Amino acid sequence: MKSKIFLALIMVATLLSCNSEKKDSNEGEGHEEHGPEGVVVLNKNQRDALKLKLGVFQMRNLTTAVKSNGQLEVPPSSSAEVTAIIGGNVKSINVFHGDKVSKGQLLAILEHPDYITLQEDFAEISSQQEFIEKEYERQKELYENNVGAGRDFQQIKSERNTIRAKYEGLKSRLLLLNLSPDKVENGEISNSIAIKSPIGGFINEVNIKVGTYVDSKDILFGITDNSAIHADFMVYEQDVHLIKEGQKIHFNVSNIPEKELTATIFAIGKEFEKNSRAVHIHAKINEKISGLIAGMYISGHIHTDENYTRALPNGALVKEGTKSFIFIVDNEVVEEHNHGEEAVHDHGAEENHHEEEAGHNHDAGENHKENAGHDNDEGHNDNTDMGFRMVEVITGSIDDGYTEIKLINPLPESTQIVMNAAYYLLADMKKEETEHEH
């Protein structure tokens, strides 16, 4: 009897040992198949939360650079301060601050009795000139025929020249006031004058009100033509010898800091500012962009030599120990990741199957397994998932937020690279690996 009990105990121990080894083997297989290392899969919501940006390698000049600040300016010929030639009272204002105007467009109307007086003087001198011209011709004919005295001819000639000068002077003043001499000669007298724009551009100053008196020295309007805007940088004395015409400047404008612009130097100042010991550097903006206004603050760097190299923003790089990595888009990672997840679910299903053999209802277990597999497929068929693979690189020069990249293994030029938030992708990947280990 004792021998039979002993044999039964040996058989139970052997069976338990076999089941334990099989279970350990399955657990090991499930851990190995959770997915490839060095990859992370993000859905659309995760990418939106990180504000993930994708791009390709950029060729940048990361050599000697002179950092400089300044502001946007327009040349003297592209800005104007409008004044009245002769003072008067403001009758009407036809433009508003910020309006776009063309050359010769009406800005305001002034009125004053002096305008009437000027036109009356011109009308009078015009009549005198008509009379003196006829008298001059008569005296000239008498003098040439030795009938009239030479003294009379010389006197009328002198009076003619004086009246002519007054006529031309008054005519020019009328034209400056935008008044028509022909109309005045025909008896059309106006008590007002038109103030017109001398250039095309935008109104940036309106310094008058209706009814106020303005003098000839008062500035009525300020106009700026922003189409001719350029970058005006200040370079300090110790760096001036590095600057040459034709060099390129990368810079940012205060109101659009996320967009980098470029400009090419076309003029270098020849004297220092007294207080700062800096020279003005003028550069033509290469991009056509709206919204630039004279006076905007700018900051940039001037490359003094040419050595373009492959580069990425600093946010595209992560470090692990002494090594540097970037993340590239690799959608095959999604399939590998899904395969690993399916392996884990299959392992769980096998465990359920063994438990069912131990006494659970077999049909209920099968239904549970089918439902679990169906839910899993629906989750991984989401076409918004994107896979990212970590790639080791060697870094070089660093300048103005960009790092030189040297590839250990070649990548296609069209490779899509994570341009920011690489640190968060690394953290997410480490988190996922830790969860699988547990």
Residue range 375-433, pLDDT digits in tens = 434 333 445 788 888 899 988 877 767 888 888 888 888 889 999 888 888 887 777 66
DSSP category for residue 314: G
Give the model's pLDDT for residue 371: 40
Predicted confidence band of residue 244 (pLDDT cuts 50, 70, 90): confident
Confidence of residue 275 (pLDDT cuts 50, 70, 90): confident
What contacts 326, CB < 8 A, 6 or more positions away?
312, 316, 317, 318, 390, 391, 393, 405, 417, 418, 422
Give 5 or 89, the one with higher predicted confidence.
89
Alpha carbon of residue 388 to chain centroid: 29
pLDDT of residue 325: 92
Residue 8 has pLDDT above 60, yes or no: no
- Whether the per-residue pLDDT at 357 is higher than 70: the answer is no
CA torsion 270-273-274-277 (nearest 10°) is -90
pLDDT of 143 higher than 90:
no
Please count the helices (runs of H) and the strands (runs of E) in the chain.
8, 23
Q: What is this structure's pTM?
A: 0.52
Q: How far is the C-alpha of 283 from the C-alpha of 306, rounded, in Å?
A: 18
95, 198, 182, 159: CA torsion to nearest 10: 140
CA distance 295 to 72: 5
Residues 6+ apart with CB under 8 A from 424: 50
Q: Which of 69 and 13 is assigned the larger pLDDT? A: 69
- Separation CA 200–CA 398 (nearest Å): 44
Res 36 pLDDT > 80: no
Higher-confidence residue: 379 or 155?
A: 155
Q: Are 191 and 108 in contact (CB under 8 A)?
A: no
Q: 272 with 279: CB under 8 angstroms? A: yes
Phi and psi torsions of 97, nearest 5°: -55, 130
58 or 19, which is more confident = 58
pLDDT score recorded for residue 222: 93
pLDDT digits (tens, 9 = 90+) for 170-215: 999 999 888 999 999 888 899 999 999 999 999 999 999 999 999 9
Q: What distance in Å separates the CA atoms of residue 95 and residue 101, rounded to the nearest whole number?
A: 8
In percent, how much of the chain has pLDDT > 70?
75
Cross-strand bridge partners of residue 100: 202
Coil/strand/helix, residue 315: helix
Range 22-45 burial, b when 16+ CB lie within 10 A, else e = eeeebeeebeebbbeeebbbbeee
**Checking DSSP bridges between strand 230-236 and strand 65-73, what pairing results, if any?**
antiparallel
Give whichever of 26-30, 258-262, 273-277 has the largest mean pLDDT: 258-262
In whole angstroms, give the CA distance from residue 432 to residue 438. Answer: 10
Average pLDDT, the chain: 78
Res 367 pLDDT > 50:
no
Residue 361: the pLDDT is 45
pLDDT at 91 over 80: yes
**Of residues 147 and 425, more confidently modeled:** 425
Q: Kind of pairing, strands 58-61 and 297-303?
A: unpaired
Of the listed ranges 54-58, 130-134, 333-337, 338-342, the one predicted with least confidence? 338-342
What's the CA gap between 213 and 88, in Å, rounded? 6
pLDDT at 301: 83
Domains and CATH numbers, the chain: 31-60+312-346+382-437 (2.40.420.20), 62-76+226-307 (2.40.30.170), 82-220 (2.40.50.100)
Q: What is the pLDDT of residue 119?
A: 92
Which amino acid is residue 158, in one-letter code? Answer: S
Average pLDDT value for residue range 230-254: 87
Q: Kindly tell me if the per-residue pLDDT of 253 is higher than 50.
A: yes
Q: Using an 8 Å Cβ cutoff, are 283 and 264 in contact?
A: yes
